[in-house]
């Protein structure tokens, strides 16, 4: 599985460390709550709302440099709109990967 990284954030910040720190702290703050709401909606079979949650999480996936995971999230987001949860385990693995990474940076 690909590993999250700060390459995009560093490139986007143009080397401004305080901006990098602020963006990373926002991700660390928002990600757990967004992940929890996604799980609640998935568990409740509210696939439209779960799709919207994936859409929000997808941006954080991209910011953390996870290109393959982003592609999975795009497909999963669309699948959820059709009531298809086939990629839920793979998406959960992506979320766990990010959670573990955020706990170390």
Tell me the per-residue pLDDT of 63-94, one tens digit each, with 9 for 90 and over.
999 999 999 999 999 999 999 999 999 999 99
pLDDT > 90? residue 102: yes
What's the Rg (C-alpha) of the chain? 14
Q: Quick check: is 1 in a domain?
A: no
Q: Domain of 45?
A: 7-102
Task: Give the tokens for residue 24.
Answer: 């990373």
Share of the chain above pLDDT 90, in %: 93
Q: What is the largest CA-CA distance in the chain?
A: 43
Q: Quick check: is 15 in a domain?
A: yes
**Angle of CA points 30, 93, 71, to nearest 5°:** 80
Q: Quick check: is 82 in a domain?
A: yes
Q: Band of the pLDDT at 12, cuts 50, 70, 90?
A: confident
Q: Quick check: is 70 in a domain?
A: yes
Q: What does each C-alpha distance from 3 to 63, 80, 94 come to in angstroms?
A: 12, 25, 10
Q: Quick check: is 90 in a domain?
A: yes
Split into its structural domains, the chain has a count of: 1
């Amino acid at each position: 599985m690909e590993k999250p990284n700060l390459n995009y954030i560093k490139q986007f910040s143009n080397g401004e460390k305080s901006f990098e720190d602020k963006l990373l702290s926002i991700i660390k703050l928002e990600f757990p709550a967004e992940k929890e709401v996604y799980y609640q909606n998935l568990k409740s079979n509210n696939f439209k709302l779960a799709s919207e949650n994936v859409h929000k999480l997808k941006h954080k996936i991209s910011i953390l440099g996870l290109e393959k995971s982003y592609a999975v999230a795009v497909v999963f987001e669309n699948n959820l709109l059709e009531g298809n949860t086939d990629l839920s385990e793979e998406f959960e693995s992506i979320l766990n990967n990010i959670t573990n990474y955020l706990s170390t940076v």
